[in-house]
Structure 1
Amino acid sequence: MRFNYQAMVEGNQRPYIIAELGANHNGDMELAKTLIKTAKECGADAVKLQSWTVDDLFSKKKYEDNYFLGDDYRNRTDYTLKSVMEAYAVSKEQHVMLQKYCEELDIDFVSTPFSMAGADFLVDELHVPYLKVASLDVDNIPFLRHVGSKGVPVVISTGLTGMDDVCAAVQALEEGGCHEIVILHCVSMYPPKDENVNLNNIDMYNMVFDYPVGYSDHTIGTVAPIMSIAKNVCIIEKHFTMDKNMEGWDHKVSADPAELKVICDAARQGYNMLGNYHKVVVEDQNRRDEFKRSIVAKHDMPAGHVLTFEDLDYKRPGTGISPKYYEALIGRELKHDVKYDDIFTWGDF
């Protein structure tokens, strides 16, 4: 399934699944291609990179501090933050190569820019179907206005900030000219505690905004993304790795192939289970007759007997008079004898 914003607005398709590669390729383009191919085989609709350079994400101070948030590189002396950023950055030529590979496999190729120049490259040169904005840029108003001006839909994660900033971010995108926005509920902990996942925020966003809402997941496992399907999300984004034990940034909190397939399968099957907001009777008449009850005689009664409440019982099958009409039988006179357990018909009176 390809990205279709209008279908997301109308809510008439299953969730669109984004396999977030991020930096889980570890700078190895053969690994990146393996991730893409496997994501496609698992049923994902898109793979997403992160488009940054050494110069457009971290300041000089960050490199001087050389501090890693919480990954395999902390407290090691054989790596620096800058060397890892250089190793994991995806060049323009590599973007082009990976996009071509995605086209061959018929899976959407998208990315998250971390600079205005990155957004320009993705839209103007690669012609991506939409841009994904990371939670860290929710309050980056100049960047959001620029992203909003690019003429493509924008999918924005909403971790790290409160509702005031989320509202301001949406307004900034609109001021840039974008009115095709998807808001992703997101908790930017890796991983969050269960009590902090707060999937009910999906409902809240649906009440506040006139834009479709999805879910960007950073939990371990498959429970949260599967539960989000019941919230009728239009997008599920999940970090993806070939091996959770691989050295790197996000492998431990990513879905492996088996988990991604579970999520993709659930998105298809679970969506079909949602149905609609109308009570629909799907059982055929024979099944309804077999399972429902009829009014029956509680004991033998002669012709001329006037029925009372104590004369009635209610048993399967439901081929006779429904129990909901019991009051209409009380006070009626029998035309003929009836026996215990006989199913009443309107012709008995």
Structure 2
Amino acid sequence: MPLTFELCPGRMIGGSSPCFIIAEIGQNHQGDLDRAKEMIKMAKDCGADCAKFQKSELDHKFNKRALERPYASKHSWGKTYGEHKSHLEFSHEQYRELQKYAEEIGIFFTASGMDEMAVEFLHELGVPFFKVGSGDTNNFPYLEKTAKKGRPMVVSSGMQSMDTMHRVYRTLKQHNPNFAILQCTSAYPLDAEDVNLRVIAEYQKEFPDIPIGYSGHESGISISVAAVALGAKVIERHVTLDKTSKGSDHAASLEPAELAELVRSVRLVERALGSGVKAMLPCEKPCHDKLGKSVVAKARIPRNTVLTLDMLAVKVAEPKGVPPEDIFALVGRTVIEDTEEDDSITPELVDGYSKKGHVLR
């Protein structure tokens, strides 16, 4: 199965495609629809590919006791956890309005379906792909039902073991080949010591036929940029308008200037990664013309002389001659013209040496 697939209409991920950057708005909108739209616009203006939310059907995600427990946190929007979550949850109609707004301004829109009923709604809404949050990655009934919908999937792996991720991989492969796995550590904010970026390479080795990415909760952008250098094809970061806002996710989120810088830095790193083919590039020619060395005659060499190593030296020379890496291949070959001390040994002077600079075997 190919490493590359279409995550959103007209947008491939994996292979040589650009890293797909998800601005995770989550519930940092504070339950305010206008604020949510402002954040979608911010994500678009900063260059992110996708604005993402979190959708729950609360009675399906939580049991009654969880919803009824008192919630006295400084981040609370209600006396109980249920009241708090209800304040932050948009209705189906509001989701349709947000989706329409995102389409109007030209940014992909999706959400994490935080329970099976939320996935049903998002499927009906027509999101381009499903995001599976770390809390549902080992929820195998949920994974199977979501995969069978046929939409591409992006799966975070916080709180999971490699054994579990192998099971996740096998489960999804049975039903849906188009998915990516993100390295993730579920802590907010995340200390550098707990990021474990080397897992990206392990995932690439264990799951070579799917794109691998990174979902980060650390401060700043450096670690996320490093993930791209390691081959991450999807980057997901929480975003906010103000880190000091009420809510537990804001401190681990990027403000607009940081998100814009992340996008710029990721695109710069992608340009710098190159093709992996090592060769002298056109941009290096001026330096080579100025500093590149050639083989020269250490002393006068009469024509028909068989070359030995002690007849040759390496210097910056004009004109350019045989490159230093071929000096040993010149030994035992015959000079066909008189050559003066310090003259360049050019290909034309040596019997059996190609004018292209490659020794004939």
**TM-score normalised over the length of structure 1:** 0.87
Q: C-alpha displacement at 1:163, in angstroms?
A: 1.7
From the superposition, tell whether residues 337 and 294 of structure 1 become closer, same or farther in structure 2 (CA, over 3 Å).
Answer: closer
1:321 aligns with 2:322: yes
Q: Which moved more, 1:85-94 or 1:322-331?
A: 322-331
Q: C-alpha displacement at 1:207, in angstroms?
A: 1.7
CA RMSD of aligned residues (A): 2.8
What is the identity, as a one-letter code, of the residue corresponding to 1:35?
M
CA separation in 1, counterparts of 2:55 and 2:119?
Answer: 9
CA separation in 2, counterparts of 1:275 and 1:248?
Answer: 40
**SS across alignment from 1:38:** helix
Asked if the contact 1:5/1:180 (under 8 Å) is kept, the reply is: no
How does 1:17-56 map onto structure 2 within 5 Å? 17-56=21-60
Asked if the contact 2:158/2:186 (under 8 Å) is kept, the reply is: yes
Asked if the contact 2:239/2:254 (under 8 Å) is kept, the reply is: yes
From the superposition, tell whether residues 337 and 167 of structure 1 become closer, same or farther in structure 2 (CA, over 3 Å).
Answer: closer
Give the number of equivalent residue pairs: 340
What is the identity, as a one-letter code, of the residue corresponding to 2:340?
V
From the superposition, tell whether residues 323 and 168 of structure 1 become closer, same or farther in structure 2 (CA, over 3 Å).
Answer: closer
From the superposition, tell whether residues 329 and 217 of structure 1 become closer, same or farther in structure 2 (CA, over 3 Å).
Answer: same
Which blocks of at least 5 consecutive residues in structure 1 are unaligned? none
From the superposition, tell whether residues 54 and 334 of structure 1 become closer, same or farther in structure 2 (CA, over 3 Å).
Answer: closer
Aligned to 2:106: 106
CA separation in 1, counterparts of 2:81 and 2:300?
Answer: 92
What is the identity, as a one-letter code, of the residue corresponding to 2:75?
Y
**SS across alignment from 2:257:** helix
CA separation in 2, counterparts of 1:62 and 1:200?
Answer: 36
Asked if the contact 1:183/1:214 (under 8 Å) is kept, the reply is: yes
**TM-score normalised over the length of structure 2:** 0.84
CA separation in 2, counterparts of 1:247 and 1:21?
Answer: 14
From the superposition, tell whether residues 109 and 306 of structure 1 become closer, same or farther in structure 2 (CA, over 3 Å).
Answer: closer
Aligned to 1:217: 216
CA separation in 1, counterparts of 2:139 and 2:338?
Answer: 85
Which blocks of at least 5 consecutive residues in structure 2 are unaligned? 1-5, 351-361
Aligned to 1:235: 234
What is the identity, as a one-letter code, of the residue corresponding to 1:7?
M
Q: C-alpha displacement at 1:291, in angstroms?
A: 3.1
Asked if the contact 2:52/2:109 (under 8 Å) is kept, the reply is: yes
Asked if the contact 1:36/1:102 (under 8 Å) is kept, the reply is: yes
Q: C-alpha displacement at 1:156, in angstroms?
A: 0.7
Note the alpha carbon deviations across 1:59-87, whole angstroms, 9 max, x for none. Answer: 3333454358xx7437x9x7442222111
Asked if the contact 1:295/1:314 (under 8 Å) is kept, the reply is: yes
Q: What percentage of residue pairs aligned between the two structures are identical?
A: 34
**SS across alignment from 1:202:** helix
From the superposition, tell whether residues 61 and 107 of structure 1 become closer, same or farther in structure 2 (CA, over 3 Å).
Answer: same
CA separation in 2, counterparts of 1:331 and 1:140?
Answer: 72
**SS across alignment from 1:188:** coil
CA separation in 1, counterparts of 2:50 and 2:337?
Answer: 72
Q: Which moved more, 1:200-209 or 1:218-227?
A: 200-209
CA separation in 2, counterparts of 1:213 and 1:8?
Answer: 10
Asked if the contact 1:53/1:86 (under 8 Å) is kept, the reply is: no
From the superposition, tell whether residues 336 and 131 of structure 1 become closer, same or farther in structure 2 (CA, over 3 Å).
Answer: closer
Asked if the contact 1:147/1:173 (under 8 Å) is kept, the reply is: no
